[in-house]
Structure 1
């Protein structure tokens, strides 16, 4: 096989491998964070970076499939464009030398960064106008960092496979007088896919909001209820209780003030054993939210840590009478323009037992996502928040 054929095969390995690993990392990240996988969220994000934004999976069908497809295609197109820019050709030139492993790897890293940049632009347009101008670029920096980090920990695999496929025993002769003709096709394809990605994200955002509004609307034949309907005092999801677990009837729960840092939020809440004997905690808290008008809102709850919080993971904690355990709520600031903020938070030791509620004022809205950590023993007598990160 000639050098031209090997270059073509190597390019295919690089482009296809980068697209597959982009999809694999983003899909597995979303699946592990939304299912009860016994792995800390920090470990999941480190091993499988969030190449496809969590908001993509929360969109109404068929947009999760389309947005994911456009994201993967854009990544592949940018990879091919950057490979061409680095000097890789698959045409008839006989003097083309295969580019090195590091150049291929850097092309994949930059392609991921470019794809994340255009996806972030789409989400900025979708959330326009922001409730506060300072929140306009919330989420952009973590998205870009996740894409660049993905290129570093995963991008070397297709780069290595491609460069190995392009190896030749005898370098081809280099003609003395030959000018390469510029190839505009990769640039046109990459530009078109980038525009499609930017345009479809606001379309998916609007379609999802319209679908949620239509589903929430009461049937036209029945009069709308004037009485707010909040979440019940016990979750419909039932978690089998272990031996001597702390029940909602035997504890008291208190809430700390929320904290904020660079577009991220965190809040602690404590559970105290109010009984006369010891009880055990071995679960994540069961939490739910009502908006300020008293209506139940749908918020995706992910077990794990966040930018502001660290998750210790589930472990058996024995609370003596009067002892306390603590858990942390973490979320990214949400653009609440036109939406009613959270006004009540409900917490139970575990799903299925009695929930306690408290009035709060949080920028968590219907359709948002939060993370919650497992219960951990409060060791500091002063009750100082030991797990949330300080404001910068």
Structure 2
């Protein structure tokens, strides 16, 4: 029973039936796209895709995924993770469920690289009692969603919708994750002989979900960014911040929002688990000790569908091809803006304006009043001097 939040009313080269390319250009091969160059060029702010604060609209070469026969609003959307939860009797129809899943898979995940720096500050009150508080030095994030599109204006990407392999651990109408029946050593021998059963398609999984008589059941979609060298980028960002002589606690992580879509069967229990006042009642009365294990063990889950949004793909010859830019190009593009935001101790999501400010010198301020202009110039000089001192002597340590 998860904690509810604000309620809102509301390509791959695979040609298998369950590996459907949603946005890839017809006839466009991997060799015609960006390649992994040894010397990644330095990108400028003007080379960026358009801002993603709003939804991307425009024509596409491919027909959009078929919408549900009846528009089904989600019951709730988590304010933090942007996960969507559906509870609707109409989703017991396998055709409507399949169309809803395909429509949701056309929306990308929202990955962010977050840099958080904190330190511990110890204070003493008038009675000499010490108190330790955590102080946030900076909290900077950069979104990676624009780089999942080969042409963001027309929503062209290499995404594909697939079902889990028989050898993959997943929940297939069960409580615990596991392999598909018969996917062990004997199945491997059958594959060599060509007698092994093919994995179920999305339509087959939707029919299995609809045919289940489980009292509580859930069909889930996971959106994932693949082909991104997370470890390499995190290492370079940590080194970038450490080069500023930062001595606090640094955390660099990849955070993914808009990742989960879950469809529950229509019943009172399914709606109660997303009702705010019931959630608080269960928590405050300590009944969660019994209700959460009950819901976890009672709910049969189908976590068998994945929408993969590649950052890069590896071709058959071993070469790596990027949807838009490589990790090196991304770092060369954002490193200066991130470093400047860290030194300024900002807590914000960086955008194109930050890229331009990092590349351009600070414009002179002219108010027409000599005294005001001199004071502002002196203030800027003081800030720059403090940043340089921090670089040499260190900053952000516990105190």
> What TM-score do the two structures reach when normalised by structure 2?
0.22
Higher strand share: 2
Higher helix share: 1
> What TM-score do the two structures reach when normalised by structure 1?
0.22
- State the structure with bigger RCO (CA 8 A, min sep 6), 1 or 2: 2
